[in-house]
Amino acid sequence: MVTSFTVQKRQDEKTVVLKSLFALFLAAITFGPLLYGADRKPNVLLLMSDDLNTSLSGFGHPQCKTPHLDELAERGVCFENMHCQYPVCGASRASLMTGLYPYTNGMLGNRGDLRNNIPDVVTLSQLFRNNGYHVGRVSKIFHMRIPFEILAGTADHDDPLSWDETVNVRALEQHAPGLRTEWSPKDKGSQTFTGVEASTGDLEHADGMAADAAIAFLNRNRNRPFFLGCGFVRPHVPLVAPSAYFELYDRDAMIAPTVPDGDLDDVPRVIREYKANSRYGVTPELHRGLLEAYYASVSYMDSQVGRVLEALDELGLRENTIVVFSSDHGYLLGHHNKFQKQHLFEEATRVPFILSVPWLTDVHGQATEHITELIDVYPTLAELAGLSPPANLHGHSLTALLRNPATNTWTKNVAFTISRRGGESIRTHEWRYTHWGFGSKGQELFDRKNDPGEFTNLANNPEYTAQRDRLRKLLDLRRREAGYDPERYK
């Protein structure tokens, strides 16, 4: 006879079983590597590109070819709305490696010394080093002056406490043999768009050398937990790649960004002419060549990423290695008739970001549009590896998005990015608000829902005063949370 007590008992037992299974599921998500053995910690492979915007075929770019990064995305999650904290190499990389906004770590450009600013900082790789990992760096992770330090084989801005071993590559850069073209002939500075269709092969250039060094590191350390940061310098100028990568593209078919007439007439004067085409002298014909050289450099970098990932597979390391791919910041390629970095338009703040956690197979191949920041990388990797990060980190772990890229539990809805000349910007899902001179040199307000190209500045339109003032208050709040000290920075 089945009594109500029996039914209730079975329901209670079923509830206990379901709760237990759910607990195991959560544990597997967070501590998946433990399934391979109690002593097996997850490895971390951090791959960084330099000056790369979202020109990846896996991020929807119609022309640039990146098959190896596309394959990585199929084995991980794409973060479609990832933003840097300062669109220049040194400051952005310091934020990623400390989990701190630039106002707190003191790195407000390519100059400065992180360890001098905050002597007791525990960097991302240093946390793993302190917890029994063998930690290595290949080429550019912290700031390096490109091309000068590739030519010299140095890394003057590195942080020695962050690594057990390091490799600096040395290559010819713009002096490599091949067809050299100046795609921005008016600019005579160190960051001019020099392109080289090199007559030499992949391994004679910086990123091929970096891939070789990374593969050697993997071979040496396959039997112990490791954290490897491998930096690729392309597509940072000079745009050097073997000629085979240029052959992937039809120069005449390159599509330049569309820019409305008078696009910059409504932005603050302090930033209007900064790195505008008047400095570079890029004609429509030269622009097509510049884009071809940039995309060829991206494809060359992508191929070297593929070599490192192939080595992971061949060594049987992929199933227990978390792979992160990111750029340090975005990059303008004629957007708004401007070039390069340190702007606060979408193309400069947004970065391509892929995170592959091998045991989270249910979300592989998916993408998230939630707003995230590069400062979120540090707490994420610490949680995935079961490590305790410093308590003062500004970022938030992305693990909720790795479990469910569409989750409604992710509460971050603002990205905060700063730049030169007192430039500060916040990006919400529907708006971007930017000001210069900490508010004294002009403002920008863009309705990203109706103006995703950020072409029409609404900051001085009376109809949007309330929206502008609301976002200004939100920016002020984020500045304080980021550690801004007016006596130090204003």
Tokens of 332: 């303008």
Among 355, 341, 399, 347, smallest CA distance to 93 is for 341
| pLDDT tens digits along 232-259 | 999 999 999 999 999 999 999 999 999 9
Average the pLDDT over 461-485 and give the result: 97
Q: Is 26 contained in some domain?
A: no
**Residue 32 to residue 359: CA distance in whole angstroms:** 6
Q: In this structure, is residue 7 part of a structural domain? A: no
Assigned domain for 69 exists:
yes
pLDDT digits (tens, 9 = 90+) for 78-118: 999 999 999 999 999 999 999 999 999 999 999 989 999 99
122 is a domain residue: yes
How many CB atoms within 10 Å of residue 320? 19
Residue 171: pLDDT above 90?
A: yes
| Beta pairing class for 77-83 and 366-368 | parallel
Q: Which of 187, 191, 195, 189 is nearest to 289 (CA)?
A: 195
**Percent of the chain's residues with pLDDT above 90:** 90
> Stretch 190-216: mean pLDDT, rounded?
97
Average pLDDT, the chain: 93
pLDDT, mean of residues 27-54: 73
Helix axes 284-314, 206-220, angle to 10 degrees: 10
- Tell me what pLDDT residue 40 has: 78
Cis bond before residue 462 (omega within 30° of 0): no
Longest dimension (CA), the chain: 93
Residue 29 has pLDDT above 70, yes or no: no
Query: Could you tell me which of 288, 270, 255 has the C-alpha nearest to residue 343?
Result: 270
Q: What is the token pair recorded at 37?
A: 């053995």
pLDDT tops 70 at residue 398? yes
Statement: the pTM of the whole predicted model exceeds 0.85? yes
Which residues in 1-11 are b (16+ Cβ under 10 Å) and which e?
eeeeeeeeeee
Q: Is the pLDDT of residue 379 over 80?
A: yes
Phi-psi region of 451 (alpha: psi -120 to 50; beta: other; left: phi over 0): beta
CA count, 13 A, side-chain hemisphere, 318 = 13
Q: What is the number of structural domains in the chain?
A: 1
At residue 7 the predicted structure's pLDDT band, cuts being 50, 70 and 90, is very low
Residues 6+ away with beta carbon under 8 Å from 313: none
Q: Residue 35: which pLDDT band, with cuts at 50, 70 and 90? A: very low
Return the pLDDT at 16. Answer: 47
pLDDT of residue 12: 55
Q: Is residue 177 part of a domain?
A: yes
Domain assignment present for residue 474? The answer is no
CATH number of domain containing 65: 3.40.720.10
Gap between the Cα atoms of 179 and 190, Å rounded = 19
| Structure confidence at residue 13 (pLDDT) | 53
pLDDT at 190: 86
Over residues 401-424, mean pLDDT: 97
pLDDT exceeds 80 at position 362: yes
472 found inside a domain: no
- The strand pair at 443-447 and 431-435 is best described as antiparallel
pLDDT digit string (tens) for 43-85? 999 999 999 999 999 999 999 999 999 999 999 999 999 999 9
The answer to whether position 302 is within a domain reads: yes
Cβ atoms of residues 405 and 421 within 8 Å: no
Candidate from 30-39, 147-156, 256-265, 363-372 with smallest mean pLDDT: 30-39
**Whole domain around residue 297: which residue ranges?**
40-414
Contact call for residues 421 and 268 (beta carbons, < 8 A): no
Q: Which residue has the tokens 């703040």?
A: 349
